Amino acid sequence: MSTNDKAGTTSTSTNEDSSETASATEAASSARIRTVAVEEHFRTPELAAVLDGPERLMPPILGAKLADLGDARIADMDEVGIDVQVLSSAATQVHSMEPQTAISVSAGANDALAKAVAEHPTRFAGLATLATPDPEAAARELERSVTELGFVGAMIYGPTHGNYLDHDSFTPILEAAEALGVPLYLHPTYVPAAVVDAYYSDLPGEFGMMLSTGGMGWHYETAVHAMRLILSGVFQRYPKLQIILGHDGEGIPFYIGRTIKVMHRASPEMSAHVGHAWKNNFYVSTSGFFTDAPFQTVLGTTPIDRILFAMDYPYARDPEAIEWARSTTTLDDASRRKVLHENSDRLFKLTP
């Protein structure tokens, strides 16, 4: 699929025909836009061995697609028109491992990903897996992943043994990310057991578990994690640090205006900082959300230069994702190009 062709125009004899031709031309042009998807997952055998939670309900084909970092994945990309996947391991379990196990599994995942990126450098880019149970080791692995393996950032899977990323122990990771100039992608993970018991228990069958994960709980938990980073002063200490949130911002765009207003009661300074941090330290991706209503909220609260396209492959691989991105009337052509690739190319220093 060419990403550089320009659709031509056709003269018509009536305004109606002209309008129809313009619409067809616009659709054709959109279909040829370079497309970078930034939250696309893989899994190594070491991670597959510790599967837990709702993944036991997933169809077996998901395991095969997660494991593939070659021709089958690229065929899926070509089928829907994805030029580049920014890959991250499906590694929520790493954050609950013992430090030495986490270090070994993370390094193995990063080495496997580096091999795939080296074999397909124009199709894949990498986000590092970090052994957050040992923050010093995680910072060293982030540096290795960026400077030696050529990765473009790292993915953080929620709290580690109950501590969020604003905890003082994670200072080495935040310092390394800012110094290296790479973003941290804050991804959902399983909510704490006490929260599951309080909010999601006593529902029929698997409903409680599914509600606590992709149905709702993951997103609320990640939104709280992100707000903790702002309110704890992380971005005042590390003003150049960049965080990516998936799933249309994990609900924060819906709440951000009210959050700013409520925080003003306690501290006008912090209230202003919340708004500043949202617009200067966060990126939002579309992973898993492919309808106009939530996206309009993102557009109303988030600079267009900070919105990224993502599918959440292979959990979301339906053509619906790319068809929505290429056809939604919430974006004009210039904004569509930004979301589909220009913002990602700039953030991750990708070469078209």
CA 129-131-132 angle, to 5 degrees, is 110
Q: Tell me, what's the pLDDT at 5?
A: 37
Looking at the chain, the whole-number percentage of residues with pLDDT higher than 90 is 74
Strands ordered across the beta sheet of 154-157: 128-129, 154-157, 184-187, 243-245, 282-285, 307-308
Query: Smallest Cα–Cα separation from 333: which of 81, 31, 2?
Result: 31
Report the relative pairing of strands 243-245 and 282-285 from DSSP bridges.
Answer: parallel
Task: Please say if the pLDDT value at position 282 is more than 70.
Answer: yes
Q: Tell me, what's the pLDDT at 57?
A: 56
CA 212-173-225 angle, to 5 degrees, is 25
- Residues in contact with 293: Cβ distance below 8 Å, sequence separation at least 6, in sequence order: none
DSSP SS3 for 85: strand
CA 319-325-329 angle, to 5 degrees, is 130
Q: Tell me, what's the pLDDT at 311?
A: 95
Give 65's pLDDT tier (boundaries 50, 70, 90).
very high
Task: Please say if the pLDDT value at position 322 is more than 50.
Answer: yes
Write out pLDDT tens, residues 157-213.
999 999 999 999 999 999 999 999 999 999 998 888 898 899 999 999 989 988 988
- Residues in contact with 78: Cβ distance below 8 Å, sequence separation at least 6, in sequence order: 1
Whole-number mean pLDDT of the chain? 89
Give the pLDDT mean for 79-85. 95
Q: Tell me, what's the pLDDT at 53?
A: 53
**Domains by residue range for the chain, with CATH:** 37-348 (3.20.20.140)
Roughly what angle, to the nearest 10 degrees, separates helices 15-31 and 320-327? 130
Q: Tell me, what's the pLDDT at 92?
A: 83
Determine which one of 83, 134, 166, 312 is catalytic. 312
Q: Tell me, what's the pLDDT at 27?
A: 43
Compute CA distances 328 → 77, 175, 289, 323, whole Å: 20, 38, 13, 8
Q: Tell me, what's the pLDDT at 125?
A: 98
Q: Tell me, what's the pLDDT at 61?
A: 80
User: Rounded to two decimals, what is the model's pTM?
Assistant: 0.89
Task: Please say if the pLDDT value at position 52 is more than 90.
Answer: no
Q: Tell me, what's the pLDDT at 274?
A: 98
Q: Tell me, what's the pLDDT at 79?
A: 92
Write out pLDDT tens, residues 206-265.
899 889 888 888 899 999 999 999 999 999 999 999 999 999 999 999 999 999 999 999
**How far is C-alpha 212 from the geometric centre of its chain's CA atoms?**
19
CA dist 12 and 10 (Å) reads: 6
Task: Please say if the pLDDT value at position 107 is more than 90.
Answer: yes
Task: Please say if the pLDDT value at position 49 is more than 90.
Answer: no
Roughly what angle, to the nearest 10 degrees, separates helices 71-80 and 60-67? 100
CA dist 341 and 347 (Å) reads: 10
CA dist 190 and 92 (Å) reads: 8
DSSP SS3 for 111: helix
Task: Please say if the pLDDT value at position 103 is more than 60.
Answer: yes
Task: Please say if the pLDDT value at position 50 is more than 60.
Answer: yes
Give 269's pLDDT tier (boundaries 50, 70, 90).
very high
Which DSSP helix (H) or strand (E) runs through 40?
strand 36-42
Give yes or no for a contact between 295 and 25, defined as CB atoms under 8 angstroms apart: no
Give the pLDDT mean for 135-160. 97
Helices (H), the chain: 15-31, 45-48, 60-67, 71-80, 99-119, 135-147, 171-180, 193-195, 207-210, 217-231, 234-237, 252-266, 268-281, 292-301, 320-327, 333-337, 343-348
Q: Tell me, what's the pLDDT at 9?
A: 36
Is 168 among the residues known to form the active site? no
